[in-house]
């Protein structure tokens, strides 16, 4: 009697398995992946940690570069303002007025000279015909 019950249960299970074969396959696949991935968790953690550190260092470098760029631009702006004020003062002494084009020319000179004061003075003296006293 138990043999007949077992045989009937086995046939029903086989029919269910043929119809729903994806469910047991997915379970076996999941267990297999879990067992295989459990072995290398420490090395995976090390890789993730090193990636995290590398990302953090990249962000720090980007922030540092950004701060340096901002400081450089502020320095150039200050140099530009100082140069314009010196020029306006010099032009006032000679009772002349700076035009918008001349102000733009000075801006280009300051940008191209990258904040080098000697180069700025030399270029302005050549372009505007003004001599600076040192």
Domain boundaries, the chain: 44-134
Q: Are 1 and 7 in contact (CB under 8 A)?
A: no
Average pLDDT over residues 58-77: 93
Q: Please give the share of the chain, as a percent, with pLDDT higher than 90.
A: 27
Least Cα distance to 85 among 127, 116, 124 occurs for 124
**How much is the pTM?**
0.45
Average pLDDT over residues 80-103: 75
C-alpha to C-alpha distance for 25 and 50, rounded to whole angstroms: 36
DSSP states of the chain:
-HHHHHHHHHHHHHHHHHHSTHHHHHHHHHHHHHHHHHTTHHHHHHHHHHHHHHHHHHHHHHHHHHHHHHHHHHHHHHHHHHHHHHHHHHHHHTT----HHHHHHHHHHHHHHTT-HHHHHHHHHHHH------
């Amino acid at each position: 009697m138990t043999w007949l019950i077992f045989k009937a249960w086995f046939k029903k299970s086989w029919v269910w398995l043929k119809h729903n074969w994806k469910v047991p396959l997915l379970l076996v696949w999941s267990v297999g992946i879990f067992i295989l991935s459990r072995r290398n968790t420490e090395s995976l953690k090390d890789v993730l940690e090193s990636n995290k550190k590398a990302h953090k260092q990249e962000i720090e470098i980007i922030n540092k570069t950004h701060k340096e760029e901002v400081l450089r631009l502020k320095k150039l702006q200050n140099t530009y303002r100082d140069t314009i004020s010196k020029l306006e003062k010099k032009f006032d002494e000679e009772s002349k007025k700076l035009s918008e084009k001349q102000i733009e020319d000075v801006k280009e000179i300051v940008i191209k000279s990258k904040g080098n004061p000697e180069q700025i003075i030399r270029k302005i003296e050549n372009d505007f015909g003004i001599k600076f006293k040192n």
